């Protein structure tokens, strides 16, 4: 198809790699002499497009104003679900805005909620390509932002070891991850965490407490200055032993139907403190190691930290810069070929892999086999360790090695074996 102008918008939460997507789109547009425009403020901006007088044109000079390695989004975000807008002619209004600025197609970067709106727009005749973005990594493909967030989580945890060890504390670091615990899992492993609690495993705090207690006592006993720390990384979507999500039932839902979470870190800290207060063995240990002060310091402190949006900001890792620019560029190629309603999976070796957006936005969870592997190495996930009776193994053939992208993130080629549709460009 003949393409003259493309609009770019980002939606949902911001994270590392979004600016790389924007630059990947815009610079590829320059190569093909296509004009690339920012649609500010996500789907809110798209809905109000017809009321705007101008859009930012991403000229080379304008692209110089934000570096590719900076997190956040130059296009701005909002959490708006188009189908929830009460106005009867909302889709006609969007079409009117696109016609006003002569935009031939949209590149939309976002996660599963954003992708669901892209599916909706496609079904209403609006030409869209979805660039996967979610630091939670809970889409069917790798999503820009995941690696940047994992590295930030690991860096925060590594920095907290010093203050934790100074005060002999149990440190709880609560991070994002409402439905899937990929970033808590991988960030925890990268920072040598003792405990990792994720939504996929219903936490038994008796098990968590015993692991915390034994680990802290062992470290302090082994230290000539009676110093030790326990590090726990906990995803915000932690479920209790009954499998219930920790949400504020009195708060209204957002446009995507989500209620605010009440704080997995604070909940976990209270669970551990309750057990510490009633544990006579821990009190005797505090006395043996010269820490006990009656009425003032009778048990170890539990401190919970929530970096919240600090894991979304700052710098984008090299992996996310590369992936972001590649899927941004691939989006332009797909638009030029008239391929819409799809999510870009990868752009490697001269081939673009993509899949139907409806399939891409399905939830992807941490594999239990991966958890069991680290339980065998002594990491606590809030359950009784699963016995690894026999691991599957096979020789890695050359053709398999060429397909394999990462041991952490799935490759779209392997998705074919799971009956998930994808197509090479």
Buried b (16+ CB within 10 A) or exposed e, 30-63: beeebbbbbbbbbbbbbbbbbeeeebeebeeeeb
Per the listing, tokens 């934000």 go with 66
What is the rounded CA–CA span in Å between residue 172 and residue 400? 39
pLDDT of residue 4: 97
> What are the structure tokens assigned to 349, written together?
């070796």
**Rounded alpha-carbon distances, angstroms, from residue 245 to 50, 135, 236, 263:** 40, 20, 10, 10
Asked if 97 and 53 touch (Cβ cutoff 8 Å), the reply is: no
Residues with catalytic roles: 136
CA 31 to chain centre: 31
- pLDDT attached to residue 255: 61
Whether 154-311 and 5-144+316-360 are alike in CATH topology: the answer is yes
Cα-Cα-Cα-Cα dihedral sign, residues 170, 174, 180, 183: negative
Q: How many residues does the chain have?
A: 425
Average pLDDT per 10 consecutive residues for the chain, totaling 425 residues: 94 94 98 98 96 97 96 93 93 97 97 94 97 91 94 97 97 95 97 97 95 97 96 93 71 67 90 96 96 95 95 95 97 97 94 95 91 94 78 65 47 41 45
Tell me what pLDDT residue 421 has: 47
Q: What are phi and psi of 364, to 5 degrees?
A: -125, 125
Domain boundaries, the chain: 5-144+316-360, 154-311
CATH number of the domain at 5-144+316-360, please?
Answer: 3.40.50.450
Q: State how far the Cα of 98 lies from the Cα of 4, in Å rounded to an integer.
A: 13
Cα R_g (the chain), whole angstroms: 24
Pairwise CA distance, residues 276 & 280, whole Å:
8
Say what the pLDDT of residue 247 is. 67
Task: Output the pLDDT for position 258.
Answer: 65
**What is the β-pairing status of strands 230-235 and 195-197?**
parallel
Residue 262: its pLDDT value, please? 75
Topology classification of domain 154-311: Rossmann fold (3.40.50)
Q: What pLDDT does 364 receive? A: 92
CA dihedral 364, 365, 369, 370 (to 10 degrees): 100
Q: Which residues contact 231 (CB under 8 A, 6 or more apart)?
A: 157, 160, 161, 164, 171, 173, 188, 191, 192, 193, 194, 195
- What pLDDT does 141 receive? 79
Q: Express each pLDDT in 10-63 by its tens digit.
A: 998 899 999 999 999 999 999 999 999 999 999 999 999 999 999 999 999 999
Separation between Cα atoms, residue 389 and residue 383, nearest integer Å: 17
Residue 65 tokens, joined: 């104003």
């Amino acid at each position: 198809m003949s393409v003259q102008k493309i609009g770019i918008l980002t939606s949902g939460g911001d994270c590392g790699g979004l600016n790389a997507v924007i630059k990947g789109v815009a610079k590829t547009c320059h190569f093909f002499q296509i004009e690339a425009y920012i649609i500010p403020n996500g789907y809110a901006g798209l809905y109000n497009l017809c009321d705007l007088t101008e859009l930012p044109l991403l000229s080379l000079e304008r692209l110089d104003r934000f570096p590719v390695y900076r997190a956040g989004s130059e296009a701005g975000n909002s959490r708006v679900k188009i189908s929830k807008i009460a106005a009867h002619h909302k889709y006609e209004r969007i079409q009117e805005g696109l016609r006003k600025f002569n935009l031939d197609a949209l590149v939309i970067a976002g996660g599963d909620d954003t992708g669901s709106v892209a599916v909706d727009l496609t079904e209403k005749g609006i030409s869209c390509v979805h660039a996967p973005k979610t630091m939670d990594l809970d889409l069917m493909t790798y999503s820009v932002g995941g690696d940047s967030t994992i590295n930030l989580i690991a860096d925060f945890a590594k920095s907290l070891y010093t203050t934790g060890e100074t005060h002999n504390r149990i440190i709880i670091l609560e991070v994002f991850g409402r439905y899937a615990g990929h970033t808590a899992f991988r960030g925890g492993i990268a920072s040598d965490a003792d405990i990792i609690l994720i939504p996929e495993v219903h936490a038994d705090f008796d098990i968590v407490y015993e692991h915390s207690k034994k680990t802290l006592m062992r470290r302090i006993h082994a230290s000539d200055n009676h110093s030790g720390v326990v590090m726990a990384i906990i995803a915000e979507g932690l479920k209790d032993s009954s499998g219930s999500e920790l949400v504020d039932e009195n708060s209204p839902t957002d446009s995507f139907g989500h209620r605010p979470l009440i704080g997995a870190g604070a909940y976990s800290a209270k669970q551990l403190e309750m057990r510490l207060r009633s544990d006579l063995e821990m009190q005797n240990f505090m006395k043996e190691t010269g820490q006990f002060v009656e009425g003032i310091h009778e048990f170890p402190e539990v401190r919970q930290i929530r970096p919240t949006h600090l894991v979304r900001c700052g710098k984008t890792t090299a992996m996310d810069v590369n992936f972001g620019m590649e899927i941004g560029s691939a989006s332009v190629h797909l638009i030029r070929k008239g391929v819409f309603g799809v999510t870009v999976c990868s752009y490697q070796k001269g081939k673009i892999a993509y899949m139907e957006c409806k399939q891409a936005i399905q939830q992807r969870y941490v594999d239990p086999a991966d958890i069991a592997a680290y339980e065998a190495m002594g990491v606590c996930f809030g359950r009784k360790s699963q016995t690894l009776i026999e691991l599957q193994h096979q020789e890695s053939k050359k053709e398999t090695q060429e397909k394999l992208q990462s041991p952490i993130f799935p490759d779209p080629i392997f998705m074919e074996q799971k009956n998930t549709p994808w197509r090479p460009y």
